Amino acid sequence: MLRSIILSLPFVVGIAQAEDTIVVTAERRAAPIEDAPASIAVVDSDKLRRINADHIAEALARAPGVNLHRGSGAEHLTAIRSPVLTGGAGAGSFLFLENGVALRSAGFANVNGLFDANFEIADQIEIVRGPSGALYGANAIHGVVNVLTPKPGADLSVFAEVFGDTEARFKGKGVISGGNQAQQFLAGVSVTSEAGYRENAGLDQQKFNLRHFANGDAYTIDTIFSFVNTEQETAGFIFGRDTLFDRDARRTNDFPQAYRDAKSLRLQSTLALNLDEKTELRITPYGRWNEMEFPQHFLPSNALEENSHWSIGVQSAVYHDAGKLSVITGVDAEYTEGALREFQERSTIFSFTQGLHYDYDVSAVNASVFLTADYALNSKTTVRAGVRVDGSTYQYENNAPDGIVGRFLRLPDQTDKFLTASPKVSIRHHFSDAFSGYASYARGARPPQTTDLYRLQINQTGDRARPELIDAFEAGFNASPAEAIQLSLAGYFMDKRNFFFRDADGFNVANGKTRHVGMEADVAITLHETFEIVSAVSWAAHTYRFNRATGNIFESIMSGADVDTAPRLLANTRVIWRPAPALTLEVEWRKIGEYFTDAANDHSYEGYDLVNIRGQAHLSDRLSAYVTLRNVGDTLYAERADFAFGRERFFPGEERTLGIGFRFQQ
Query: What pLDDT does 552 receive?
Result: 61
pLDDT band for 31, please (50, 70, 90 cuts): confident
SS3 state at 530: coil
Query: What pLDDT does 483 receive?
Result: 85
Mean pLDDT of 555-582: 94
The 10s digit of each residue's pLDDT in 519-538 is 999 999 999 889 999 999 99
Higher pLDDT, 34 or 489: 489
> Closest Cα partner for 271 from 29, 24, 32?
29
CB 523 within 8 A of CB 529: no
Residue 18 has pLDDT above 80, yes or no: no
Taking residue 432's Cβ as centre, other Cβ atoms within 10 Å add up to 9
pTM of the shown model: 0.93
Query: What pLDDT does 8 receive?
Result: 34
Q: Which residues of 64-103 are buried (b: 16+ CB within 10 A; e: fewer)?
A: bbbbbbbbbbbbbbbbbbbbbbbbbbbbbbbbbbbbbbbb
SS3 state at 62: coil
Residue 503 has pLDDT above 60, yes or no: yes
CB 611 within 8 A of CB 589: yes
CATH number of the CATH domain containing 403? 2.40.170.20
Number of domains in the chain: 1
3-state SS of 249-298 is HHHCCCCCCCEEEEEEEEEEEEEEEECCCCEEEEEEEEEEEEEEEEECCC
Residue 112 has pLDDT above 50, yes or no: yes
Mean pLDDT of 221-240: 97
Residue 57 has pLDDT above 60, yes or no: yes
Instruction: Report residue 114: phi and psi, to 5°.
Output: -75, -10
Residue 330 has pLDDT above 80, yes or no: yes
SS3 state at 529: coil
> Closest Cα partner for 491 from 62, 25, 39?
39
CB 521 within 8 A of CB 64: yes
Query: What pLDDT does 508 receive?
Result: 74
CB 159 within 8 A of CB 151: no
pLDDT band for 572, please (50, 70, 90 cuts): very high
**Measured distance CA(91)–CA(500) in Å, rounded:** 12
Give the range among 85-99, 120-134, 373-387, 501-515 with minimum mean pLDDT.
501-515
**Measured distance CA(140)–CA(89) in Å, rounded:** 12
Q: Distance of CA 348 to CAs 240, 351, 406, 525, Å? A: 28, 7, 9, 61
Residue 3 has pLDDT above 70, yes or no: no
**Measured distance CA(473)–CA(494) in Å, rounded:** 6
CB 341 within 8 A of CB 359: yes
Tell me 131's DSSP state. -
Amino acid at 269: S
The 10s digit of each residue's pLDDT in 141-192 is 999 999 999 999 999 999 999 999 999 999 999 999 999 989 999 999 999 9
Contacts of the segment 654-657: beta carbons below 8 A, 24+ positions apart: 654/167, 654/197, 654/630, 655/197, 655/247, 655/631, 656/629, 656/630, 656/631, 656/632, 657/165, 657/166, 657/167, 657/628, 657/629, 657/630, 657/631
Give the range among 79-83, 240-244, 469-473, 478-482 with minimum mean pLDDT.
478-482
- What is the percent of the chain with per-residue pLDDT over 70, rounded to a whole number? 94
pLDDT band for 9, please (50, 70, 90 cuts): very low
Residue 383 has pLDDT above 70, yes or no: yes
Residue 35 has pLDDT above 90, yes or no: no
**Measured distance CA(66)–CA(537) in Å, rounded:** 10
Give the range among 28-42, 53-67, 202-216, 301-315 with minimum mean pLDDT.
28-42
Determine the longest span between alpha carbons in the chain, in angstroms: 72
Range(s) of the domain holding residue 190: 2-665
**Measured distance CA(231)–CA(244) in Å, rounded:** 26
CB 466 within 8 A of CB 448: yes
pLDDT band for 12, please (50, 70, 90 cuts): very low
**Measured distance CA(219)–CA(39) in Å, rounded:** 31
Query: What pLDDT does 27 receive?
Result: 67
Residue 13 has pLDDT above 60, yes or no: no
Mean pLDDT of 452-471: 83
In DSSP notation, 547-585 reads -B--SSGGG-B-TTSBPSS--SEEEEEEEEEEEETTEEE
pLDDT band for 294, please (50, 70, 90 cuts): very high
CB 285 within 8 A of CB 268: yes
Tell me 115's DSSP state. G
**Measured distance CA(207)–CA(262) in Å, rounded:** 12
pLDDT band for 23, please (50, 70, 90 cuts): low
Query: What pLDDT does 137 receive?
Result: 80
Query: Average pLDDT of the chain?
Result: 91
**Measured distance CA(174)–CA(189) in Å, rounded:** 5
**Measured distance CA(383)–CA(31) in Å, rounded:** 16
Residue 26 has pLDDT above 90, yes or no: no
Q: Distance of CA 71 to CAs 197, 586, 654, Å? A: 11, 26, 11
SS3 state at 123: coil
**Measured distance CA(125)–CA(121) in Å, rounded:** 11
Segment (H or E) for 385: strand 381-398
Count the residues in the chain: 666
Query: What pLDDT does 14 receive?
Result: 33
Residue 210 has pLDDT above 90, yes or no: yes
SS3 state at 627: strand
Query: What pLDDT does 128 receive?
Result: 93
Residues in a beta bridge with 32: 23
Query: What pLDDT does 47 receive?
Result: 93
Residue 505 has pLDDT above 90, yes or no: no
pLDDT band for 556, please (50, 70, 90 cuts): confident
Residues in a beta bridge with 288: 266, 311
pLDDT band for 554, please (50, 70, 90 cuts): low
CB 367 within 8 A of CB 335: no
